[in-house]
Amino acid sequence: MAWHGRTGTRRRWIVGVLIGVMALGAGWAPAAQAADPIKIGFGMALTGALAGNGKAALMAMQMWAEDVNKKGGLLGRPVELVYYDDQTKPAAVPGIYTKLLDVDKVNFIVSGYGTNVIAPLMPIAVERNLVVMGLFGMANNEKLKYKNYFQIMPSGPNPFLGWSQGFFEVAAKQQPKPQTIALVGADAEYPHNALIGAREHAKHFGFKIVYDGKYPPSTVDYTPIIRAIKATNPDLVYVASYPPDSAGIIQAAHEVGLPAKMFGGGMVGLQFAALQTKLATKLNGVVNYEFYVPEPTVKFPGIDDFLARYQAQAEKAGVDPLGHYIPPFAYAYVQVLGQAVEATKSVDQKKVAEYIQANEFNTIVGKIRFAPNGEWAKSRVLMVQFQNIKGGDVAQFKKPGTRVLLYPEEWKSGKLIYPYTAAQK
Amino acid sequence: MVSLDLLLNAIVAGILLGGFYAAVSLGISVSFGLLDIVNIAHPAFVILGSYTAYAMNRFAGLDPLLTGLLFTPVFYALGVMVYRLYYLGFERKGEESLRGLVFFFGTLFIVEVVLLLAYGVDYRMIEADYVGRSFHIGVVGIAFRLLLPCLVGLMITLALHLFLSRTFYGRAIKAVSQDSQALRLMGVNPVKIKRIAFALSIATASLAGALLILIGPVEPSIGREYIGRVFAIVVLGGMGSISGTLVAGIILGIAESLTSTFSGPSWAPAVSFGILLVVLAVRPAGLLGR
């Protein structure tokens, strides 16, 4: 009996310990899960040609993660950003995302900056049926029609057309109405797509195309191109270019004396302080796209606070001190993802994707609703004209008045100086 | 019908561009053409020269051309150090071919990363009164932004040509490219001569960098855009031929400019490399090569 008793006591003791361990385990499990971060993975251009934009975007995303974590995270779990430098190389993208998904086990992926790095990400997202948030991709989903892709650049449901809509709308309203147009852009993905839209608009508005050319991205001197354009005597000159070409083209236009009535359109780089301050007065009269400008007619809840915090850190981080172009949108695209996770109370890809497809989001760049192809349901590409620039002081670009908003009509903040040559005087 | 006005402007623009191309390629002509050192980090030193000009312009208000000249000795010293490393690490052991290439590839990355850390990733431009100004001779418009780099390129070419043909060290550099053993028998240390030649190539790269930032904005990795073009110019001109480098630079400059003006700029690289292929088929040693 004693043995039995002893055995019984031992058995009860073992069972008790086991139950205790299980109970503790059960108690610990939710606690461990609560501490597990929600990981958002991405590659970003931290070196290479587009690193200026990539670093600024990363800083904005880190600000969002910090803001979310201060408020307790998403679903009670902290947010962790897991990222690698894609070196602005599309070839690096598949390897980075495979590692993020298979090794780092991220919960969500978002894209790096730009069309060229989003393109190689798409097959991975499609194959695994993942939600993918795109950062400034130009028509990446036009052929795939992938339902879980959402892109934050406000070029609208038809990005080819939405991109240059404002330029042509503004031009068509001028008197006497312009008759001819020259189209020029770099021989690369974005300019190629932008020029497709520009050709369609030219046809729609009845502008005769008198020059339609592309140049290699390694071009050093743009004066022969501008002279060739000048020889065709166009009323309008639409340019789709990357930052170094934008600077070269504006300098060449200034030196050659381009007599166009409207000049600009899709020039990347003119949104950044680095080129604004150096090109300075040469920018006066150029009409170009923007996504945000500090004009009194453009106010979104939270953007002033965001920009104040961003600008305070920007110089030290060596990124664009203005932060008007990419950073608010980089903040917004993770903001959309975060709001969808909170609303669905889930990290399930399908549920989150369906929620983003069906709902409108309040972000620091305004209200966003996505079209079935993942682009903004309505284009909101702004068209501005550089005016009143005096010298190269960066402070003038932080205030209203140097980028006067011409389009869309409801946010118009000033009048176009027409023709371009009048604004140059 | 081709407009005479456009044609003249395209030719002048091509010559101006060619002078600049020659300035960027001269260093490669010396290191690759004369010393057989495949310095693919050359464009990185060009960009380092650009950033030096940018920094001195921003913080001390110095003209980029003046900075280029003032810093030539500093870059010469840098070239001496880089060659020393290359010689001790690879050339002396006879491992200069593949491992040497990796060394310069690594140097390219290091220079880029240092610039990234120091200046960030934004495009940088300089301020000078003459940038953005132009003048006309008849129907031909000439921008100072392109004229000055061309003139400086011509001066560097002339100076280097005179140095290599008229001075003892210049002739020794030419000799070391032909037969370093024979040079040693003449009592001259070929390693020292190579060191001088390599350092000269880096010094010209820095000066070319100051010219580059006059023409347009730069960022740390923009030098890679020039690797193919500068090697093509050196091969087209004839390996190690300084005057050939100038001629090749101007030919490619004019070809690019004419193509951009009359046939669409996207054809410019195809025309340039087409010229290279045709010339190599007819003259395998290049235009002025031996």
pTM above 0.90, yes or no: no
Residue of B121, B126, B222 to mutate when probing chain A, most A C-beta within 10 A? B121
Read off the pLDDT of each residue in A232-255 and give the average, rounded to a whole number.
94
pLDDT tens string A172-197 = 999 999 999 999 999 988 899 899 99
User: Is A5's pLDDT higher than 50?
Assistant: no
Q: Does B235 touch chain A (CB under 8 A)?
A: no
Listed in sequence order, the DSSP H helices in A206-261 are: 223-231, 243-256
User: Is B11's pLDDT higher than 50?
Assistant: yes
Q: What part of B 163-222 touches A (C-beta under 8 Å)?
A: 215-217, 219-222
The residue that leads in pLDDT, A164 or B268, is A164
Q: End-to-end CA distance of chain A: give it in Å, rounded.
A: 111
Query: What domains can be seen in chain A, in order of their start residue?
Result: 36-157+300-369 (3.40.50.2300), 159-297+380-424 (3.40.50.2300)
Locate the domains of chain B by residue range: 4-282
pLDDT, residue B277, reads 93
pLDDT, residue A282, reads 93
Tokens of A214: 């592309």
Least confident of A215-219, A338-342, B72-76, B197-201: A215-219
Banded pLDDT at B116 (limits 50, 70, 90): confident
Residues of chain B by 3-state class (helix, strand, coil), percent to 5? 75, 5, 20
pLDDT, residue A14, reads 54
What distance in Å separates residue B133's CA from the closest CA in chain A? Answer: 6
Q: Look at A213 and B13 and tell me if their CB atoms are within 8 Å.
A: no
pLDDT, residue A26, reads 43
pLDDT tens string B162-221 = 999 999 999 999 998 888 888 888 888 999 999 999 999 999 999 999 999 999 899 888
Q: What part of B 100-129 touches A (C-beta under 8 Å)?
A: 112-113, 116, 119-127
pLDDT, residue B93, reads 84
Q: At what angle do helices B42-60 and B72-86 cross, to 10 degrees?
A: 150
What distance in Å separates residue B46's CA from the closest CA in chain A? Answer: 15
What distance in Å separates residue B15's CA from the closest CA in chain A? Answer: 11
User: Is B38's pLDDT higher than 50?
Assistant: yes
Q: Look at A274 and B141 and tell me if their CB atoms are within 8 Å.
A: no
CA of B128: which chain A residue's CA is closest? A278
Read off the pLDDT of each residue in B280-284 and give the average, rounded to a whole number.
92
What distance in Å separates residue A30's CA from the closest CA in chain B? Answer: 43
What distance in Å separates residue A278's CA from the closest CA in chain B? Answer: 6
pLDDT tens string A248-296 = 999 999 999 999 999 999 999 899 998 999 899 999 999 999 999 999 9
Q: Residue A385: helix, strand or coil by DSSP? A: strand
CATH 1.10.3470 given to domain B4-282? yes
pLDDT, residue A6, reads 45
Q: Residue A77: helix, strand or coil by DSSP? A: strand
CA distance A27 to A25: 5
Residue of A184, A211, A214, A221 to mutate when probing chain B, most B C-beta within 10 A? A221
Complex ipTM tops 0.90: no
Q: Contact B266/A216 with Cβ under 8 angstroms?
A: yes
CA of A391: which chain B residue's CA is closest? B127
User: Is A13's pLDDT higher than 60?
Assistant: no
User: Is A388's pLDDT higher than 50?
Assistant: yes
User: Is A25's pLDDT higher than 60?
Assistant: no
Identify the H or E element spanning B106.
helix B98-119
Banded pLDDT at B137 (limits 50, 70, 90): very high
Tokens of A390: 């005096």
pLDDT, residue A188, reads 84
Chain A residues within 8 A of B229 when measuring between CB atoms? 218
CA of A269: which chain B residue's CA is closest? B123
